[in-house]
Each structure stands twice: as C-alpha cells, then as structure tokens.
Amino acid sequence: MNQSWDILKALSDPTRLRLLSLLQREELSVAELQEVLGMAQSRISSQLALLRKAGLVSDRRDGKKAFYSPRADLPPRSLALVRSAVESVAALPMVESDRENLDRILQKRRRVSEQYFNLIAGRLGRKHCPGRSWEAIGHLALRLVPAIAVADLGAGEGLISQLLARRARQVWCIDNSPRMVEVGTELAKKNGLHNLEYRLGDIEQVPLPDGTVDLAILSQALHHAQHPQRAVDEAFRILRPGGQLLLLDLNEHRFEKARELYADVWLGFKEGSLHGFLKHAGFTKVEVTAVSREAAPPHFETLLATGVKA
C-alpha cells in the first residue's frame, strides 16, 4: 500500500510524468532529456532523483554520463499504475511535442555514428578503433571452429592450438623443440584441454598417420623448414580427403638479420612459390593472398595460402 501511495505521489507531477513517458521509449542521458524538454539540468536531475527514490527508474553510469531507464523489476501492480498514468497524458500537445523532440534526438544519435563511419569508409583497417585488434578478431573467428581434428605444424607453444582446442574434437601440436613441447603440454594441462596433444617432430616428417586430420595449419613455420616442399607434402599426406591446409607465412623480403634474430632459413616466399608448393603437393582450389603488412620497417608482409585435398 505504501509503495503504491509513493508511486501515485511521484506521478502527480507533470515533469516527472513527462520524464517517464520519454524513458519508456528510450534510455536517455540527462543532457538528452534537457534537449528534449528544454529544462535546466538541475530541475531534471532533481526530478529523476525523486523517481529513483520512488523505485520507478534506474540509472546506469557510462564514463561521465548517467543514463536513465524504467526500473526493469517493477512489480506488476506498480507497472500498471505507471502505464495508466503515461497513457492518460499521451495525447496532450506537450507530450506529443516531447515525442517529436525525442525522435529528433535519436536521429541525431544515428547521424553522429553514420557521419563517423562515412568519414573513415575505406580506411577502417588503417585507423585505430578501440577494441578492434587482430587478437580479439582471432578469438571471435576461432569460436567458429567445428568439431574437427586439427594438426598445428611447427606450433611452438601452440597459442593457436590452445584456442582451437576449445572447439575442435582433437588438436595435435607438432614441434621440433623439446622445450616448446614441454611448455605447451604444461599449458594444455593447466587449461584442462584434454583434447590437445603435443608431439615432438619435424614438419618435414610429421609423426601422424595418413589421413588423420581435417585441417592442417602451417603458421609462420614454413620459412624455418629446410625443404618447404616436403613440409607441404606432409601436410597433404596427413589430411583426409576434403581436408584443408591453411598456410600463413612471410612474403619474400630482404631483411637478412631475420636469419640471426629469428633463426629463419628462408627470407619469406613469393606468392608464386607458395602457389607452386601447394599445387605440386596435390592441393586443389589453391589461393594465395596478402593479408597484412606491418607499418614499421622492414614492413613484413604476410601471405595466406589455402588449398583443399580433393
């Protein structure tokens, strides 16, 4: 009874009723409510405080702004009171004017967003966008992996495999470094990834039977191979019919220090060379595409090569 009485008292003020009418249509900030109603910030804030005290609205902080909306868990009887009050004034000229002003404010919101993206259209990938990182996008894409068997060849610690294993049926990480295999195995155990297995081996002689996997990955590993064609041939061998190879590697470059700094055997590969490796191994639907270029010298460029085992 007391709550209903408090609500009726809150609804008795025209300004508070106008506020509720607007907030039932859209979550709004104090500044936006000022613009719609043409009132001072202090007046609007004090009326919102009374509505919040009556349990009719809730606020959400977003940085320096506070956004207001109807309380989501309002009891049915109280909600009926509010709706009846709002409906009773819906046809008043002042309330109709509020709705028109609100439509204008919402259109303004959309225009601000539209103008920004119109401005950077064609440059989005080259412009900083908070939260838009390759790491984040990679996490998103890897959630799409179906329940398949995967071989990560030249996996290192297996960052990609650690993510793949959360969705794939089975993942094998192959690396020729005992320490990498040890560290990766510890990570898999720590993260409870029982379908992720590390094996010591060379990408030119993969310790897996023929036709074992649905997807083979060579990510920045081929330029460490003594014989790249053999590594691609091995990927073809362990794939089932219909399986796919994904190969990420550097485009041919002249940064000689890579041999010393990163133990690179090859200074990247031409697009034509990667295409040739895959075709010679027997892959069909072969595609090679440049997917990224580093802004800082020596401007390493990454190629993505894909092929299907027919």
Q: What is the pLDDT averaged over residues 215-234?
A: 95
Q: Which CATH superfamily is domain 134-309 in?
A: Vaccinia Virus protein VP39 (3.40.50.150)
pLDDT at 86: 93
Q: What is the pLDDT averaged over residues 215-221?
A: 95
CA dihedral 182, 184, 185, 186 (to 10 degrees): 90
pLDDT at 203: 96
Which carries the bigger pLDDT value, residue 160 or residue 243?
Answer: 243
Q: Could you tell me if 16 and 22 are in contact, meaning their C-beta atoms sit under 8 angstroms apart?
A: no
92-125 burial by CB neighbour count: b if 16+ within 10 A, else e?
Answer: eeebeebeebbeebeeeeeeeeeeeeeeeeeeee
How many other CB atoms are there within 10 angstroms of residue 242's CB atom? Answer: 9
Residue position matching structure tokens 């709706």 = 83
Could you report the per-residue pLDDT of 165-211, keeping only the tens digit for each?
Answer: 988 999 999 999 999 999 999 999 999 999 999 999 999 999 999 99
Max mean pLDDT range (73-77, 108-112, 162-166, 243-247):
243-247
User: Which part of the chain is CATH 3.40.50.150?
Assistant: 134-309
Rounded distance between C-alpha atoms, residue 200 and residue 164, angstroms: 19
Q: Could you tell me if 200 and 180 are in contact, meaning their C-beta atoms sit under 8 angstroms apart?
A: no
- For 301, the enclosing helix (H) or strand (E) is strand 301-309
Coil, strand or helix at 253: coil
pLDDT at 298: 92
Rounded distance between C-alpha atoms, residue 99 and residue 44, angstroms: 17
Residue position matching structure tokens 């690396």 = 175
Instruction: Please say if the pLDDT value at position 79 is more than 60.
Output: yes
Instruction: Please say if the pLDDT value at position 21 is more than 70.
Output: yes
Which tokens is 187 given? 């990570």
CA dihedral 199, 203, 205, 206 (to 10 degrees): 40
* CATH 2.60.40.420, domain 2-122, yes or no: no
Strand partners, 219: 248
Determine the Cα angle at 310 with ends 218 and 286, to 5°. 50
Rounded distance between C-alpha atoms, residue 286 and residue 271, angstroms: 11
Please state, in angstroms and as integers, the Cα–Cα distance from residue 86 to each residue in 5, 91, 227, following that order: 17, 10, 77
pLDDT at 1: 45
Of 142, 146, 155, which Cα lies nearest the Cα of 185? 155
Could you report the per-residue pLDDT of 113-171, keeping only the tens digit for each?
Answer: 667 666 656 555 555 556 556 667 666 666 677 889 999 999 988 888 888 898 899 99
- For 239, the enclosing helix (H) or strand (E) is strand 239-250
